[in-house]
Amino acid sequence: MNFTFNAQEYKYASRRRVVHAKRGMVCTSQPLAAQAGLTILQQGGNAIDAAIATAICQTIVEPTNNGLGSDCFALVWTGGKLHGLNGSGYAPQRLTPEAVAASGATEKMPLRGWEAVTVPGAPSAWAELHKRFGRLPFAKLFEPAIYYAEQGYPVSPIVARFWQEGIDALTPYKDNPAIAPWFATFDVHGNGVAPKTGELVTLPDHAKTLRILADSYCESYYRGELAQRLVEFSDKTGGYLSLEDLADYRAEWVEPVHINYHGYDVWEMPPNGHGITALMALNILKGMEIGAKDTGDTFHKQIEAMKLAFADGMHYIADPRYMQTRVEELLSDAYAAQRRALIGETALEPTHGKPFCGGTVYLCTADGEGNMVSFIQSNYKDFGSGIVLPGYGINLNDRGAGFSLNPELDDYLAPRKKPYHTIIPGFLTHEGEAVGPFGVMGAYMQPQGHVQVIMNTVDWLLNPQTALDAPRWQWIAGKEIWLESSVAPEIVEDLRRRGHEVRVLEDDTTFGRGEIIWRDSNGVLAGATEPRADGVVAAW
């Protein structure tokens, strides 16, 4: 018999527990991707191999949030040291403010079309990670993704929802010749209706491209057949990519940045990512008297510190080659004290751009040898720019939307410049030893999620699962904040009395979706992934 049930409805609360293991662990927002990474560990791969395989698999099983045209960032703990890899791309040489203005955009960068596309960095980052730290053959890391692309996979619940939202968002652009091929790839029924939860989906064009990437060590993407096809399609449909833009690109190894927060070192990637926004907020908060977790006063102080950090971050963060302000100045204790002094009993109203939630996947891995990876990969908004290379399934990012068109700002669009980037992997250490990776995906929610998760862990000693499950706040703009419906009513009223403009939301997907792996002194791993996404902890 074929037992039928309602795959869309979740009426009653369920509880997740921390998963403990010793030999290895993979946490991410899609169960099949987590299992793909675990399989690599069980076949003799290390945590870096597992992270790459999981990231590649997520381009197939979670195409709503990332793809073969994404960017990524990674923090890798190995050999007693933390390494950073910036896999974000730059603007094509021909993508200038004048070109964007000629397309009709003069005040704000577009989210769709070629003006939003930067050179994708993820395939280069996969190769660079493997060259430096991988163990298994590179092509083996593609096997799970190729299998699901060719043989099919059942769509998970949150992905099904985001898929429909993506179709709805891109339908107004259907007549754009650059975006029309997206529908041939992702409108799988051809009628504007996304695949349902549990429905099998195949992505054969993706499988073809994955095989080319596996066989060429991703070289084809930047200096081979795929590069040729990308540029031909760009030229045909009014794009800006050139062969030189692709050939000159490589993911870049960088030094992570950190602050000490109550005895723990919290690590983030340096700009062009906005990880320092989380560090600036924590720097302000560490000098304040913080009481019990679930009080209006605690929420108020967290929110006000976050506002001040965002006001600075959105003004100063850019490609580091163009920043006029040094990261060290923004993270100094003296500057944190200046900002802290502005926080009183009522809501502030700093000026900044309006945050919104985006399309990103986060994953973390660990193995029995002590290696750990914090990895994040993203299109940006929904399915990205809406541009798909016909016949290849390469869905290009819209990271160019992170640029400013204000020439007075450091993030002003320029050729070969990297944009302000919202995706941020995090890592925690204590006295020089790794505690582990953590992350909360969701565009401008990300640093806000990092602050809340770290305080839940360090200040209130919550276990990883409880730290992720805890009710969240999100600052939106001015005095406007959003709260999850699980926040206590007395906190809601306290914040309103302090002048915050509060909205309580039933939908929790806008409050980030995160994962954590902590390692104790005995080498035991404790992993968690939250109910705001489809994720699981795969471990052995």
Helix (H) or strand (E) holding 268: strand 264-268
Token representation of residue 225: 């057949």
CA gap 517, 537 in Å, rounded? 9
Distances (CA, A) of 2 to 5, 155, 199, 356: 10, 18, 14, 41
Query: At 239, phi and psi to the nearest 5?
Result: -90, -175
Pick from 399, 259, 364: nearest CA to 24: 364
Nearest-CA neighbor of 428 among 275, 284, 272, 271? 275
Please say if 209 is a catalytic residue: no
Strands 501-505 and 480-484, by their bridges, are: parallel
* Type of residue found at 496: R
User: Under DSSP, is residue 85 helix (H, G, I), strand (E, B) or coil?
Assistant: strand
Strand ranges across the sheet with 433-441: 19-21, 525-529, 513-519, 433-441, 426-430, 264-268, 257-261
Query: Quick check: 11 and 20 in contact, CB under 8 A?
Result: no
Residue 291 CA to residue 204 CA, distance in Å, equals: 54
256-266 b/e (C-beta count within 10 Å ≥ 16 → b): bbbbebeebbb
Query: Backbone phi, then psi, for 114, in 5-degree steps?
Result: -65, -30
Amino acid at 540: W
Q: Are 386 and 170 in contact (CB under 8 A)?
A: yes
Contact call for residues 266 and 281 (beta carbons, < 8 A): no
What spatial distance separates the first Cα and last Cα of the chain, rounded to whole Å? 34
For the chain, state the CA radius of gyration. Answer: 22
Q: Which helix (H) or strand (E) holds 222?
A: helix 219-223
Secondary structure of 391-453 in the HEC alphabet? CCCEEECCHHHHCECCCCCCCECCCCCCCCECCCCEEEEECCEEEEEEEEECHHHHHHHHHHH
Catalytic residue among 39, 59, 360, 529: 360
CA distance 153 to 138: 23
Active site residues: 360
